[in-house]
Chains A and B, each alone.
Chain A
Amino acid sequence: MYQILEKEELAPKIKKFAIEAPQIAAKAEPGHFLIVRVDEFAERIPLTIADYDREQGSVTIIVQEVGFSSQQICELEAGDSFLDVVGPLGKPIETAGYERVICIAGGLGSAPLYPKVKSLAKEGVELITILGAQTEELLILEEDLAELSHKLYITTDDGSKGKEGFVTDQLDEILAEDDQFDLVIAIGPMIMMKFVAEVTKEYGIDTMVSLNSLMVDGTGMCGGCRVTVGGETKFSCVDGPAFDGHLVDFDEQLQRSKIYQDKEDKVKDHEFWGDGCRAKEEN
């Protein structure tokens, strides 16, 4: 069992958990992720390690309620436990050797972005961060990222904070003035990463994205998380989750993320009606 040491609400429906897992904390690096399972009936869910504290022996995850399983996680409190936490999984990312980097997060993407920003800041990189969300109240880790960045830009779809529009609008504006960057890291919804990669391709700037593919085991034994990168099939869980954004087939990934859409309603129905209501299941 893996106990929750702390829980914090970062925004409506977005919760942060520090989980006791000393062995994982000892090995975690930016780019790594975890697979968690709440209880005997639960799915295995991949979540990026958003932070880690080797001394405290804890790892941090940030979860947004989007479906049944994430809601179930978000209802856990400090003192509760996860039945299973596996990690650190995936390949860590290399943050050394860069001078000027733009980091872009969309929505919950700030969570996986944060350890990378932290690591880049430590390397003394000149860092610009663009943080985007639908609306002001969904912006997370703003202060933490601002502290580590030389400059932080904010965009919201509805203009409730920062610039009205998408992160790509802000990126375009920055690059139009100064395009001397070694690297862009973009993490967020698939569609956002796709458009960021399109912008940076015009400027010829290397771009790293972190994919949030569907996963089961997270150790390379099923291929559920496969992605086409530069024409080759890769497994996100072992070859990634970070890839060259200019080589990823985002349209395919967008399609693959929708495989189980119809199943979500069934889970919710089941939770509401329970096992007893056979009539409903048969209809």
Chain B
Amino acid sequence: MVAVQKKKTKMPLQDPKQRANNFAEVALGYDKEDAINEAKRCLQCSNPACKDGCPVRVDIPEFIDLIAEGDFAAAAKKVKEKNSLPAVCGRVCPQEEQCEAECIVGNKNEPVAIGRLERFVADYIREQEEVEEVEQEKEQVAVVGAGPAGLTAAADLAKLGYQVTLFEAFHKAGGVLTYGIPEFRLPKEIVQDEVEKIEQLGVEIKYNQVIGQIKSLDELFAEGYQAVFVSTGAGLPRFLGIEGENLNGVYSANEFLTRVNLMKAYQFPKYKTPVYTGKKVAVVGAGNVAMDAARTALRLGAEESVIVYRRSREEMPARAEEIEHAQAEGVKFNLLNNPTKILGDDDGFVSGMECIKMELGEPDDSGRRRPIPIEGSEWILDVDQVIMAIGQSPNPILINDTPEIETTDWGTIKVDQETGMTTKEGVFAGGDIVTGAATVIQAMGAGKKVAQAIDDYIQKQNN
């Protein structure tokens, strides 16, 4: 009997010192041998708990078994039955909280590296995959927003035979996958490739279409769409509202990352969009977006990149892996500190940031210990650029244009929990626009669920 491999098969990474200076992907992915080796760690449970942990319910043991047998193409096909963006999910899902959290192997040893295996098959099949087009003979459905929720819903509806049009405000599809998550975590080529596969299913993507400005939802219905899925995300950046926040050199993480990722400012001046790059950069916040911004700043040439967070390490919302990667690359952490003021020079550029030290009190509503400022502990952090990564709210353009759609106090859209239908007949919503900023895979799970509900709705209308 062969001894069970206790740890996950290692995935090769780019050297931290080297990678902190380039935008190439950090994690290099398994080769065939690694994948088969890892696949053999799966116990092939008859009642797989991992599947319950996956928001789109990929048939995990089945696809892993196909990898173990060396049939990678069949494994990829198996994954794609449930997940339209496997190369993306394998890279950016927080598997430690989802599929891998439920893995039985994980009770005693490290869980099976489901994410890495999903990524392997998706990358393996990328070049040679042929998409089977389903004949689109059913009704027209409009999807607003080409992020993870919209792309998933569009793909599923196309597979069901609907004529799907996807309306996207930007000039590229992918939403946060394209403008938010950096190249070194998720190469844009891979995102665009998965988008193309969805188009090959028969989905038509219309770019530069800000629904709510160029067209209202009622106009979409008048054009013959039977249902609309709103998946416009949570893209409105929050600021702290402190003095000096409009100084030059203060960015929202959204702006900073959009310039770098979507507009390719890291290749300036070949690409013409500039990005302001300081020598000492503070990133306020400690979620994945903050890690992305801090790591991006280093790659743009910052000598110092510091995360400033009002709570302690334990409460940091970013994935453990992202925090480790950031640290290995040289990102510093200034925890239990909150900015109170941004200081500027005579020309209006950032010259420093006043912070106040914090201590943790009793747990608040979210269960995390509440940060309390320590009176009189203000001090000045020496920085020349500040990036605010303290969260995003839903963008109100479409909602403001559609008064029949009810929203919550947080600006998210109210939906029927079962069907995802909004308070406007025939209009469904899902993803961050409903939940507030969450994960890629949760948005995809919502897209999948609502696609099914839209199918049910249209069928019912027809009877």
Residues of A within 8 A of B (CB): 23-24, 27, 37, 41-44, 68-69, 83-89, 216-217, 219-224, 226-228, 233, 238, 252, 255-256, 258-260, 263, 266-267, 269-271, 275
Minimum-distance CB pairs A-B, first 4: A255-B348, A222-B255, A270-B269, A263-B274
Query: Given A44-B273, A252-B348, A267-B269, are A233 and B241 neighbors across the interface (CB < 8 Å)?
Result: yes
Is residue B215 contacting chain A, with contact meaning CB distance below 8 A?
A: yes
Apart from A221-B236, A270-B269, 13 more pairs, CB < 8 Å = A23-B215, A42-B272, A83-B171, A84-B171, A85-B208, A86-B210, A87-B214, A216-B259, A219-B210, A220-B236, A220-B396, A226-B246, A263-B269
Residues of B within 8 A of A (CB): 169-171, 207-208, 210, 213-215, 235-237, 239, 241, 245-249, 251-252, 254-255, 258-259, 263, 268-274, 276, 347-348, 395-397
Cα A267 to Cα B354 in complex, Å, equals 35
* CB-based contact B272/A216 at 8 Å: no
Closest B residue, CB atoms, query A67: B272
B residues within 8 A CB of A260? Answer: 274, 276
Closest B residue, CB atoms, query A266: B269
* CB-based contact A255/B258 at 8 Å: no
CB B215 to nearest CB in A, in angstroms, measures 7
CB B394 to nearest CB in A, in angstroms, measures 10
Cα A275 to Cα B268 in complex, Å, equals 11
Indicate the member of B236, B272, B397 with the most A CB atoms within 10 Å.
Answer: B272
Question: Among the listed A41, A217, A255, A269, which residue makes an inter-chain contact with B272, where contact means beta carbons less than 8 Å apart?
Answer: A41
* CB-based contact B347/A88 at 8 Å: no
Cα A197 to Cα B38 in complex, Å, equals 69
B residues within 8 A CB of A87? Answer: 210, 213-214
* CB-based contact B208/A223 at 8 Å: no
Query: Given A89-B213, A221-B395, are A256 and B170 neighbors across the interface (CB < 8 Å)?
Result: no
Question: Among the listed B210, B214, B263, B397, which residue makes an inter-chain contact with A43, where contact means beta carbons less than 8 Å apart?
Answer: B263
A residues within 8 A CB of B395? Answer: 219-221
CB B389 to nearest CB in A, in angstroms, measures 12
CB B400 to nearest CB in A, in angstroms, measures 9
* CB-based contact A88/B207 at 8 Å: no
* CB-based contact A222/B252 at 8 Å: yes
Closest B residue, CB atoms, query A268: B269
Cα A24 to Cα B214 in complex, Å, equals 6
Question: Among the listed A23, A220, A221, which residue makes an inter-chain contact with B258, where contact means beta carbons less than 8 Å apart?
Answer: A221
Cα A227 to Cα B241 in complex, Å, equals 13
Q: What's the dominant secondary structure at chain A's contact region?
A: mixed
Closest B residue, CB atoms, query A83: B171
How many A-B Cβ pairs are below 8 Å?
112
A residues within 8 A CB of B170? Answer: 217
Closest B residue, CB atoms, query A235: B236
* CB-based contact B214/A27 at 8 Å: yes
Closest B residue, CB atoms, query A215: B255
Closest A residue, CB atoms, query B234: A221
B residues within 8 A CB of A258? Answer: 248, 347-348
B residues within 8 A CB of A44? Answer: 263, 273
Cα A1 to Cα B213 in complex, Å, equals 19
Cα A221 to Cα B263 in complex, Å, equals 14
CB B207 to nearest CB in A, in angstroms, measures 7
Cα A227 to Cα B272 in complex, Å, equals 24
A-B contact pairs, 18 of them (CB 8 A): A37-B171, A44-B273, A83-B171, A84-B171, A86-B171, A87-B210, A219-B397, A220-B236, A222-B252, A222-B258, A223-B237, A223-B254, A252-B246, A252-B348, A256-B246, A258-B248, A267-B274, A270-B270
CB A128 to nearest CB in B, in angstroms, measures 32
CB A51 to nearest CB in B, in angstroms, measures 18
* CB-based contact B213/A27 at 8 Å: yes
A residues within 8 A CB of B396? Answer: 220, 238
* CB-based contact A222/B237 at 8 Å: yes
A residues within 8 A CB of B347? Answer: 255, 258
Cα A259 to Cα B235 in complex, Å, equals 23
Cα A83 to Cα B208 in complex, Å, equals 10
B residues within 8 A CB of A219? Answer: 169, 210, 235, 395, 397
Cα A217 to Cα B257 in complex, Å, equals 12
B residues within 8 A CB of A238? Answer: 396-397
Query: Given A255-B347, A259-B276, are A223 and B239 neighbors across the interface (CB < 8 Å)?
Result: yes
A residues within 8 A CB of B270? Answer: 41, 270, 275
CB B204 to nearest CB in A, in angstroms, measures 15
CB A198 to nearest CB in B, in angstroms, measures 20
Cα A222 to Cα B273 in complex, Å, equals 14
* CB-based contact B210/A233 at 8 Å: no
Closest B residue, CB atoms, query A217: B258
A residues within 8 A CB of B245? Answer: 233
* CB-based contact A221/B254 at 8 Å: yes
Indicate the member of B207, B208, B245, B270 with the most A CB atoms within 10 Å.
Answer: B208
Question: Among the listed B210, B263, B271, which residue makes an inter-chain contact with A216, where contact means beta carbons less than 8 Å apart?
Answer: B263
B residues within 8 A CB of A42? Answer: 272
Closest A residue, CB atoms, query B238: A223
Cα A83 to Cα B214 in complex, Å, equals 18
Query: Given A84-B171, A216-B273, are A263 and B268 neighbors across the interface (CB < 8 Å)?
Result: yes
A residues within 8 A CB of B213? Answer: 27, 87-89
* CB-based contact B236/A256 at 8 Å: no
B residues within 8 A CB of A86? Answer: 169, 171, 208, 210
Closest B residue, CB atoms, query A72: B272
B residues within 8 A CB of A223? Answer: 237, 239, 252, 254-255
B residues within 8 A CB of A270? Answer: 269-270
* CB-based contact A89/B271 at 8 Å: no
* CB-based contact A266/B239 at 8 Å: no
A residues within 8 A CB of B214? Answer: 23-24, 27, 87-88
B residues within 8 A CB of A256? Answer: 246, 248, 348
B residues within 8 A CB of A84? Answer: 171, 207-208
CB A72 to nearest CB in B, in angstroms, measures 8
* CB-based contact A259/B269 at 8 Å: no
